[in-house]
Every structure is written in C-alpha cells, then in structure tokens.
Structure 1
Amino acid sequence: MLGGIIGKHSPYVETNSFKTYVLIWTAFSIVFASVALLLVRKFQLASIGFIPFLLLCPIVGIVGLASPPDLSLKMLDHPEREHLRYTFLFLAALLFGVFAVSLLRGNHLKIKGSSKWLIALLFTLAFAEFIWEFTHHYLYPEGLKDWVTAGNNADEFGKHYDNINVITVGVIGRYIQFTSIIWLSISFYKARQTKLWSPVLVCILGTLGIISATVTFITQMNYPKGLEFLFLFFIPGMPFLALYWLGAALLTNLNKDAIKG
C-alpha cells in the first residue's frame, strides 16, 4: 500500500521528478525508522528485530517505482532509474549484513563452536552474492551503452550480460540466502522469540524461492508456460521480504509487562 502511494511519483513516469521521488522516500524512511525505534524502546521490543524490520524502507522504495526494470535502449535515456533501484537493494543488503553481525555478536540464538562459524560463513556468502549481483546489475546501463557503441545488436545484450555464469551465481546465492533465512525463522521460533505464523510464512516464501532458483537454473530463465510466476520469487528483493517478515515477527512478540507499564 505504501509503495502504491509513492508510486504516483515514480520517476518512470516522464512527467515526474526523480528528485521528488527520492525526497518522498527519504522522508518516509526517516519517519518510519523513528517511529519504529520509539516503539522498540517504549515497549521493550526485541531490538534484534529492528534492523530487518527496517527493510520495509528499501522495499517500499522499489515497489514505489511501479515498473519493472527497463532493459531496452530507453534505459540509456534515464540510467538513474535503474541505479536508484539497485541503490535500494544495496541498502537492503547493508541492513542484512548489519543484522547478521548483530545476531552473531549478540549470540541471540545461543550458537556455539563450529556451528557459529558455519552460520557466519553462510551469512558472509549470502552478503557477498548480494553485493556482487547488485553491482553487476547496477552497471547494466553502462554495459549496454558500451555494447551498442561497439556496433552490437541491443536486443542481444541481455543474454550476453546475464549469461549462464551470472545465472548460476544467482541461483547459488538464492539457495544460501533462502536457506539461511528459513533456518533463522525456525530457530527464533524454537527459542520462543516469535509466533508460529513467522516460520510458516518464511518457510513458504523460502521454499518457493528455492524452487524458483531450481527452475531458473534448469530452464536458464526460460520458464515453462504456467510457471512464469516463479520468477517473482527469484528476484533479489524476495529474500529481503522474507527477512522483513521475520523482523516484524520478532517485534510483535510483545513484552506484556512492558505494555502494562
């Protein structure tokens, strides 16, 4: 809903101002983060959930663009649009990284020994894939420009840029990212820090993401008829959406004594 509201100001509409959209999103993010922080302090909510809960900010920014990536030559007229999309994703990846570090340092799940190092490795790989993937796609307009300048057919650039190697890295990344988030949701539930709906929802999203990654790898993104919807679960924003819901679950597992006070 929030994304739809600021979507009226999407920079993909020629008559809209790019700066206005960024300012509206920035104002929303500041207000949202401030209110969330006040509620965390007032009701003594699980602070570990605050960081993933903030993922709503970049998610709203992306949804508010109200348009899929423009991979045509028109992209070269407004490369800042796609740069903004991936700036939001970089921000989401940063929040993911901060959350992972906070989780391991605080040892909220009582992870010990070799298990802690294994989880740290998985988080590091997940974060590294995010950064690599977002950098790759952030530079798509520049790559397209060089491709066309060299006299190549613009319609063939997509397959050249997002080749089998790129797809494979993305698939491996989704496996690690979704598996890690599913593990987190189950672990927090076992630790009685979330309600049952959290692991159920996250496991559904994560499982669909893993299935999507598998189909993507097998078909090389040529989805069979009727399964095109799976691409929605392969896009880089989906792991962040699952993690956001985990953050929401952690924050809404209220401290009743704090509320009474």
Structure 2
Amino acid sequence: MKFARLGPVGAETPAIMNGGSYYSLAGLTPDLNPNFWSSGGPGRAAAALAAGELPKLDAVSLRIGAPITRPSSVFCVGLNYAAHAAESGSEPPVAPILFQKAANTVVGPNDAVVIPRASTTTDWEVELGVVIGTRASYLNSPSDALSHIAGFVTVNDLSERTFQLEGSGGQWSKGKSCAGFCPTGPYLVTPEEVDPGDLRLRTWVNGEPRQDSTTQDLIFDVATIIHDLSQYLVLEAGDLICTGTPEGVALSGRFPYLKAGDVVEVEVAGLGRQRQEFIQA
C-alpha cells in the first residue's frame, strides 16, 4: 500500500494510492499521524478502499506533502555506506553513528528549499527513510525490528557542511537542522511491498547524475539500525529514521555545492522521486 498527504502546508488531506489515483482518508482519520500507524490504520484504510467507501481525490493541482505528520524525532545514521565514509575521509564505523535532525525539517518532497544564510556548502544526500509504526524499546534482536515498521520513504538528508563540521563541536545537528532540510516522500510504502536490502538510490543536480548506489552497500541494515537504536532510546510511532547516504555528495570535492537556482532530484526505487529548487535566503 502507498499512503500520501495532499494539499497546502498545514492542511494536507491524508490519502491512499491505488492504480495511480488518490483516495481521501479524511473520513477515516484526521491525518497520517502516530495513532494511525500504531492502531491498525493501514488495514482499515485498505478495507475501506476495497469496499468502495473512499472518495477519489482530484490530485492534479494539489501540492504533495510529506506522507507523515511531524514526527516526534528524526534519527539519522551517519557514514553507513563504506564508499561514502571513504569519500568523507573516514573509516567505516564499527557501530551505527547516530545524530538527529530537528523534527520541523520534514517537508514535502517537491517544496522549494531555502539555502541558509551565509551558507556556501549546502549538500544533497539521498537516503532510504524508515517510519516507525509501533513503539520500540530494548528490542531483543534485529529480527524483532521489522514488525515495528510502518513503511519506507524517500528522504533527502540535506546538510550544510560548514555548520556540520566546523561550527558544531563534533555534533552534526547544526548542519542538519536548517529549515526544510528533510524533504520526505512523495509517499510511504508499507513493508510488504519493499525489500529494504535491495533498493537503488539516485541523485541528479540540474539533470546531471551524482549518486547511484543500492542499499546492498549499507554497512548496517534496517533491522540492525532499529535494534541498535532501541537499546539507547525509545522509538515512537511516526518517528523517521534516515539510514545513510551513498557516495557522490559535494563533500567529496568532486562536485560543486548547491547555489540558488539549482534543482536537485532524488529517487529511491519503488518509493518515488523528489524535486527541489533551491532559493536564496
């Protein structure tokens, strides 16, 4: 199943996708919020769709929002592809590296992104995003993790590298939490339709290819990440985990950083493509 949210910022309509069409879930749930994921919402939505109870949305002119409401937390795993660690000048980690983005960075997949004031090193990072479906704490093993997943999304974990690496005291969140720095979507795909261990990730800047890899190159897979994080913190329904980016970012020195007027497109196979235009503050 695919779930989306359509409409103006702050007034999105929750929807389920079927055969290229969108059907409103507004009569079933106020939004695609934590309660929807944790209380069997996807199953109820599928049943209502099969029964013909959901009105079709005229989605042609509607903005696509993030397919989740603002999460309580956005957790990110750094240097989780060996080739990206190498281009960053780092050794592959021996345990998942955790940092956080501000929850209000989650925006629609095609929303314009403002380059932060004084920024000269804004960078792109296509990632597989995981949305938690039910509370997870002190899981016994990685095999327990998969039952706690609501679905998977495309994410662009945007970064301001100077803020991240030079003005942060070793903590990365300053360079990760600028406004609009977590475009998410266009839709969430539920776990039965996704093999998170074999997904292609790609990025283009102004139509030119940048990143092209697969999740087969993840150092720590999705189940390992969720299990590991659950030993240190509580994952709540609706939380978003960004699982790391492959090589091909501007930090490598092979490409220029983003400037006003640039257009970035990122895609995770089966999870949809995003497009952001970058504008000056």
Please give the TM-score of this superposition, normalised by the length of structure 2: 0.28
Please give the TM-score of this superposition, normalised by the length of structure 1: 0.29
| Structure with greater helix share of residues | 1
Higher Rg of the two aligned structures? 1
